Homo-oligomer: A and B are copies of this chain.
Amino acid sequence: MCGAPVAESVKTLGDLKGIFRDQAAWQDSDPDREVYRVRWWAPVVSGNEGGLFWGVTILQPGRVGDEYFMTHGHFHANRTRAEYYATVAGIGTLLRMDAERRTWAEDMVPGGLYYIHGEHAHRAVNIGDVPLIFWACWGSDAGYDYGTIQQHGFATSLLERDGKPAIVPHSS
């Protein structure tokens, strides 16, 4: 992809309103602190049938209260369109959730490859001390539905408990 146009999007704590459980801790945090950035290559326009996009996400280590830094997370607008994640560096958790809010948590470790079915919302969480870096490949006609997660959240959170990550249902 030498010379190919690569787009970049940066998400700071201020951009991630309503995502973290501890709203008071989020209010006290530095809104300009970077949580993650995504760089992606879009060789075709968004919506192109059958095309593919490729991106790399760099998710910083950190917490808001006891909750680890994570990506916003989203469903695909087209629920048939799948995605791969491939961990390059760092340690994380991949959360997937279906329409019935059933949730899967998988360890993200370097060399790991993860298949995300089109009907599953997906979010990455950095549970380590170094940036979590992963590649993604998804359909240019997958589209993005961030609203469902913005409104209802994930059913499960990754919280630090006794110095270790714990998977905790969102209602607890």
Mark A residues whose CB is within 8 Å of B: 1-2, 4, 41, 43-44, 49-52, 54, 78, 80-84, 112-115, 117-118, 137-140, 142
Q: Which of B41, B51, B112, B118 sits near A50, CB closer than 8 Å? A: B118
> In the complex, which residue of chain B has the Cβ closest to the Cβ of A80?
B50
Contact indicator A137/B137 (Cβ below 8 Å):
yes
Q: Please tell me how many copies of the chain the complex holds.
A: 2
Contact indicator A83/B52 (Cβ below 8 Å):
yes
Contact indicator A84/B52 (Cβ below 8 Å):
yes
- 8 interchain pairs (CB within 8 A)? A1-B113, A2-B112, A43-B82, A50-B118, A52-B82, A52-B84, A52-B139, A84-B137
The 8 closest A-B pairs by CB, nearest first: A50-B80, A43-B115, A50-B81, A1-B113, A137-B137, A52-B82, A51-B82, A49-B80
Q: A1-B115, A41-B113, A50-B80 are in contact. List 15 more A-B contacts (CB 8 A).
A: A4-B115, A43-B117, A44-B117, A49-B80, A50-B139, A50-B142, A51-B80, A51-B117, A51-B118, A52-B137, A52-B139, A54-B115, A84-B137, A137-B137, A139-B139
